[in-house]
Amino acid sequence: MNCDIAVVGGGPVGVVAALALRDAGFSVVMVERGKAPAAFDVARYDSRVYAIAPASAQLLERLGVWPSIAAARVSPYTRMQVWERAAELGLCFDTSDSGHGALGWIVEQGLILSAAWARLGSLPTRVGVDAEALLLPDDDQDRAELRLSNGEVLRPRLVVAADGADSPLREQAGIETVTWTYAQRAIVAQLSMRSARPRTAYQRFLPTGPLAFLPQADGRHSIVWSADSTRAAELLAMDDATFGAALGEASQYALGELLDVSPRIAFPLRLLHARDYHRAGLVLVGDAAHAIHPLAGQGANLGFADVAQLAETLAAARDAGRDWASARTLSAYSRARKAANLEMLALTDGLYRGFGAGIPGLRELLGIGMEAVNRFAPIKSLLAKQAAAGTG
Ligand SMILES: Cc1cc2nc3c(=O)[nH]c(=O)nc-3n(C[C@H](O)[C@H](O)[C@H](O)COP(=O)(O)OP(=O)(O)OC[C@H]3O[C@@H](n4cnc5c(N)ncnc54)[C@H](O)[C@@H]3O)c2cc1C
């Protein structure tokens, strides 16, 4: 089957890429080896949540996805408190610093996926089907060849790899990565805290890793607690009362005591950046191009920004009468996104190392730095704008 673009991966970035490229006027096929997401059940809370930045919400709005998300459940946050040694000495962003109505919205992963998949409509999909082998275009053939596990062969001008951090397509194309596995795991759970402020996200940097509290619409919080492997194993094994005491101590009771907590799950953490974002006939977006530490809640936001840039760059080349799948066009996309992605990667890695790596004197310096920054509104404003725009 011939088409303009085959998007491989129906995760949050892949499905949004399929919608954005279709809306930009390209014929698109989306391939996902897993199942289609289940219809969102408002009676249940998904323990995986994303902090969605305003730029991502705008993209989802343009694609018609945001209205069903907003109608189901979103939790805006207007204040973010970040500290290391004492809550009152840390950084505090609020909407007056950023000039936006909200710093971001906490949205469940299952809701983003089901709302975005529902917008695919008649867009052709191959679900439960693996993209197995990729043959890139060459001098004789201006289309890629993508062999699927159902025996079908797709012949798109461009393959968009949204196949996640392990990206089989990136591997097949021989694109190298810089990879660093953090000796940490992120523990995710939902919980109720006795005296949290409404619409406030909290983050404390501990020597063992950052602990974030993201406010849910029902007044509970989702936590992402990154801890070195030994500590993570201890936290997972604790009974709820012992976990509550550990959490209270770790957060210095800035949100009061733990009232109840869901089962805890853990994710391994790594940093990954592809050396190139494209080959002839192939382009990388989302975690296939870059995976970052979740401490700034920016991974999917960077992927959505990749998608917005890619759709804009391809459509502009086509509308100007140029070859929209050429190396020149793909280089323009790559240049635009690499700088922003690397900046955020360096920022999150720097924060992780600065607070966690125990370099003598550095944490102390950053602790003092944060307190100074808190008194300096223009820097706060810049930081908040960058966080809110999701561009690093
Ligand atoms: C603990 C934690 C908290 C996080 N919090 C946030 C947050 O608050 N905000 C935020 O923006 N980001 C956050 N992130 C990051 C975010 O989860 C990722 O950036 C995001 O999931 C990447 O989406 P993706 O679509 O690129 O990749 P994925 O979600 O990995 O999706 C890839 C898809 O490709 C499919 N696939 C793979 N290979 C093939 C193939 N050969 N054929 C067909 N299909 C294939 C897979 O089945 C999968 O569905 C967090 C991450 C972690 C670990």
Q: 307-316, pLDDT tens digit by residue?
A: 999 999 999 9
The predicted structure's pLDDT at residue 175:
97
Question: Is 55 contained in some domain?
Answer: no
pLDDT bucket at 354, cuts 50 / 70 / 90: low
**Across the strands, what pairs with 291?**
272
Quick check: 38 and 23 in contact, CB under 8 A?
Answer: no
The predicted structure's pLDDT at residue 48:
87
* Best of 287, 348, 352 for a ligand 1 pocket test (most atoms within 8 Å of beta carbon): 287
Q: Are residues 240 and 345 in the same domain?
A: no
8 lines ligand 1 (CB under 6 A): yes
Is the model's pLDDT at 321 over the cut of 60? Answer: yes
Residue 306 Cα to ligand 1 middle (Å): 14
Q: Are residues 157 and 249 in the same domain?
A: no
10 lines ligand 1 (CB under 6 A): yes
Question: Is 62 contained in some domain?
Answer: no
CATH number of the domain to which 234 belongs: 3.30.9.10
* Tokens describing residue 306: 């990749």
Q: Are residues 219 and 265 in the same domain?
A: yes
| 3-state class (DSSP) for residue 377 | helix
The predicted structure's pLDDT at residue 103:
85
Q: Are residues 28 and 130 in the same domain?
A: yes
pTM of the model: 0.91
The predicted structure's pLDDT at residue 212:
92
The predicted structure's pLDDT at residue 271:
87
* DSSP letter for each residue of 72-108: H--EEE-EEEEESS-GGGSEEEEHHHH-SS-SEEEEE
Residue 35 Cα to ligand 1 middle (Å): 14
Quick check: 210 and 201 in contact, CB under 8 A?
Answer: no
How far is 63 from 59, CA to CA, in rounded Å?
6
Question: Is 65 contained in some domain?
Answer: no
Q: 167-177, pLDDT tens digit by residue?
A: 999 999 999 99
Q: 97-115, pLDDT tens digit by residue?
A: 655 678 889 999 999 999 9
Average pLDDT, the chain: 88
Burial pattern 379-391, b for ≥16 Cβ within 10 A else e, equals ebeebbbbbbbbb
Q: Are residues 190 and 262 in the same domain?
A: yes
14 lines ligand 1 (CB under 6 A): yes
Give how many domains the chain has, as a whole number.
2
The amino acid occupying position 316 is: A
Question: Is 31 contained in some domain?
Answer: yes
Q: Give kind and range of the element (H or E) at residue 200.
A: strand 200-206
**Which residue has better confidence, 275 or 371?**
275
Q: Are residues 26 and 42 in the same domain?
A: yes
Question: Is 64 contained in some domain?
Answer: no
Q: Are residues 185 and 250 in the same domain?
A: yes
Question: Is 152 contained in some domain?
Answer: yes
**Domain extent for 131:** 2-48+120-178+270-351
Q: Are residues 334 and 363 in the same domain?
A: no
The predicted structure's pLDDT at residue 165:
96
Is the model's pLDDT at 379 over the cut of 60? Answer: no
Q: Are residues 203 and 341 in the same domain?
A: no
CATH number of the domain to which 284 belongs: 3.50.50.60
Residue 298 Cα to ligand 1 middle (Å): 12
148 lines ligand 1 (CB under 6 A): no
Cβ-Cβ contacts under 8 Å for 154 (sequence gap 6 or more): 1, 3, 6, 29, 31, 145, 146, 148
Residue 68 Cα to ligand 1 middle (Å): 21
Q: Are residues 274 and 254 in the same domain?
A: no
* Best of 15, 29, 33 for a ligand 1 pocket test (most atoms within 8 Å of beta carbon): 33
How far is 233 from 219, CA to CA, in rounded Å?
28
Average pLDDT over every residue of 8-17: 98
112 lines ligand 1 (CB under 6 A): no
Q: Are residues 257 and 374 in the same domain?
A: yes
Q: 257-273, pLDDT tens digit by residue?
A: 999 999 999 998 888 99
* DSSP letter for each residue of 113-136: HHHHHHTTTT--EEET--EEEEE-
Burial pattern 339-365, b for ≥16 Cβ within 10 A else e, equals ebbeebbebbbebbebbbeeeeeebee
Q: Are residues 87 and 203 in the same domain?
A: yes
Question: Is 324 contained in some domain?
Answer: yes
Q: What is the CA radius of gyration of the chain?
A: 21
Question: Is 248 contained in some domain?
Answer: yes
Q: 15-45, pLDDT tens digit by residue?
A: 999 999 999 999 999 999 999 999 999 998 8
Cβ-Cβ contacts under 8 Å for 259 (sequence gap 6 or more): 191, 192, 193, 194
User: What residue owns the CA closest to ligand 1's atom 2?
Assistant: 294
